[in-house]
Amino acid sequence: MAQDDKGQLPEVIYANLVGFNLSNDDVLLEFWEHRLGHATPPMTPEDVVKAKPPILRVVVPFASIKWLRDSLEKMLPTAAENRKAGQ
């Protein structure tokens, strides 16, 4: 998808549930948003996936997923410690 203004950032989409399908060459990431309200019954992640279409689907090459995995493995311990410390 081409953008007219290369300095403009893409839209930010908030999702609180992520699913994926792994093939030999790439990964299909699917994102859902589910908000609880006063009249909304609690739903498991499986119920949300069955009841609602994803708000975004992204195909990511296998090499990029490996890079993401490695990055998360390095960053998550520090992020978890910061959350415990309230930072």
Encode pLDDT of 27-86 as tens digits. 999 999 877 666 667 778 888 888 889 999 999 999 999 999 999 999 999 999 998 988
User: Does some domain include residue 48?
Assistant: yes
User: Does some domain include residue 38?
Assistant: yes
Q: For residues 53 and 33, what is the distance between their CA atoms, to the nearest angstrom?
A: 9
Overall number of domains in the chain: 1
User: Does some domain include residue 47?
Assistant: yes
Given a contact cutoff of 8 angstroms between Cβ atoms, the answer to whether 33 and 16 are in contact is yes
User: Does some domain include residue 25?
Assistant: yes
For the beta sheet containing 26-32, the strands, ordered from the edge strand earlier in sequence to the opposite edge, are: 17-22, 26-32, 56-61
Residue range of the domain that includes 73: 17-85
User: Does some domain include residue 1?
Assistant: no
In angstroms, the first-to-last Cα distance of the chain is 37
User: Does some domain include residue 8?
Assistant: no
Which residues in 35-65 are b (16+ Cβ under 10 Å) and which e? eeeeeeeeeeeeebbeeeebeeeeeeeeeee
Given a contact cutoff of 8 angstroms between Cβ atoms, the answer to whether 21 and 29 are in contact is no
User: Does some domain include residue 7?
Assistant: no
pTM: 0.69
